[in-house]
Amino acid sequence: MAERPAEGENGSMLAAWVSTTPEEAQALLAGIYGIAGIADRLSSERDDTFFVSDTSGGRYVLKIANPAEDQTAIDFQNGALLHLEASAPAVPVPRLVRTLSGLENHAYETADGRRNVRLLTYIDGELQYRMPASPAQSRNLGKTLAQLQLGLEHYHGLAPRQKLMWDISHTLDLREVVDHVDPSRRPAVDAVLEAYERALPAIARLERRQIIHNDFNPHNILLDPQDPSRIAGVIDFGDMVHAPVVNDLAVALSYQLATEDWMQRMAALLDGFASIRPLLREELDLLPLLVRARLAMSVIIAEWRSALRPENRAYIMRNHAIAWRGLQNTAGLAPDDLLHFAPQISEA
């Protein structure tokens, strides 16, 4: 039997903890980083996150992990950000701010357990989902994703051992909770799971594998408000995994497919990605299935978790309609269709 997926990234959302108040966050900021500032809470499922503005005009994001967060996961994310700072400084990602003691993070004890504090630089920009889309924007999304992948290509940090719920490589684990899917959507979801199972031998043969961002979605991408086609930043490295590089592209594409012009947006993103990092033929052959696997995962996970956590239903279901429409739009999508839309995406 497949392992039952944990409810949340690396299982951390299963733990309850007492939230840090803004006043407590400000005290931590001063004591650990020597920064006097105002902390305003940001929405987050897995930790306490604050936007910080200091008295000198600096702006940061303060993240206080919940007590169940694996230190390995925190070190993995820190290592990726430091690696990107050195290997791909042009890729717009947050920078890790060291503590007064020169450490990457600070741990302290609370009544709930050990908590870990990190401070990241703040990136100016507007979240992609709040901005108008365009072919130029989609093309630049593809380019940025490819550049980010190349920046992480030689990062060999130690990933957490526990399976990640949002890893396409573990799609079939979700059979354990698929009964939560509404009967009207169940046949489409089951068809994807069956197709994925049939494709397992081909997936296993994919050679290009590395650590990938794995969550390149409109809530994690910042755009320039003055030029919405320009990518200002990529945030949230909490879902990174070691996986086939094409999985990263499948995740990104899955958020482009719920509109009337989804074919044009898909083609533009593929074109941008391939201008930096063309796909191999075996990756192209699997890409439509991997996109649909990610969409099916989004449907299953949202319906399962919203049933378990009805008080947080609005947040959990925020991408559900997009995923379901994308799954419907791509019902007949085939590899040769991708070549028709964007003929240069694949290397022979």
- Residues 197, 56 share a domain: no
* Domain co-membership, 225 together with 339: yes
- pLDDT at residue 10 tops 80: no
pLDDT band at 1 (very low <50, low <70, confident <90, very high): very low
63 lies in the same domain as 137: no
Q: And the tokens for 243?
A: 């996986």
pLDDT at 6 over 50: no
- Do both 115 and 228 map to the same domain? no
Percentage above 90 pLDDT, the chain: 80
Q: Are 44 and 130 part of one and the same domain?
A: no
Query: Is 310 or 88 the better-scoring residue by pLDDT?
Result: 88
- What's the structural domain count of the chain? 2
Q: Are residues 115 and 194 in the same domain?
A: no
- Residue 3 confidence class, pLDDT cut points 50, 70, 90: very low
Q: What is the mean pLDDT of the chain?
A: 92
CA-nearest of 225, 297, 286, 194 to 255 is 297
Answer whether 73's CB lies under 8 Å from 160's CB: yes
Asked if residue 306 is part of any domain, the answer here is yes
Joined tokens for residue 3: 């392992």
pLDDT of 328 above 50: yes
Query: Quick one: residue 164, left, alpha or beta (phi over 0 = left, psi -120 to 50 = alpha)?
Result: beta
**Helix H segments across 88-211?**
135-152, 186-198, 200-204
In a domain, 148, yes or no: yes
State how far the Cα of 255 lies from the Cα of 203, in Å rounded to an integer: 22
Q: Are residues 191 and 278 in the same domain?
A: yes
Distance, in Å, from the CA atom of 316 to the CA atom of 305, rounded to the nearest integer, reads 7
Comparing 229 with 310, the larger pLDDT belongs to: 229
What pLDDT is attached to residue 15? 54
3-state secondary structure of 231: strand
> Are both 56 and 190 inside the same structural domain?
no
Q: Are residues 98 and 139 in the same domain?
A: no
CATH number of the domain residue 240 falls in: 3.90.1200.10
pTM for the whole thing? 0.91
At 16 the pLDDT is 66
Question: What is the structure's pLDDT at 4?
Answer: 34
Identify the pLDDT of residue 5: 43
Are 108 and 202 in the same domain? Answer: no
The verdict on residue 2 lying in a domain is no
Whether residues 44 and 141 fall in one domain: no
> Does 128 or 1 have the greater pLDDT score?
128
Residue 261 lies in a domain: yes
Residue 111, domain CATH: 3.30.200.20
Structural domain that includes position 18: 9-121
Rounded Cα distance between 65 and 106, Å, is 11
- Which tens digits make up the pLDDT trace of 80-119? 999 999 999 999 999 999 999 999 999 988 877 889 999 9
Q: Say whether both 98 and 159 belong to one domain.
A: no
- 1 falls within a domain: no
pLDDT per position as a tens digit, 55-76: 888 999 999 998 888 899 999 9
Among residues of the chain, what percentage have pLDDT more than 70? 95
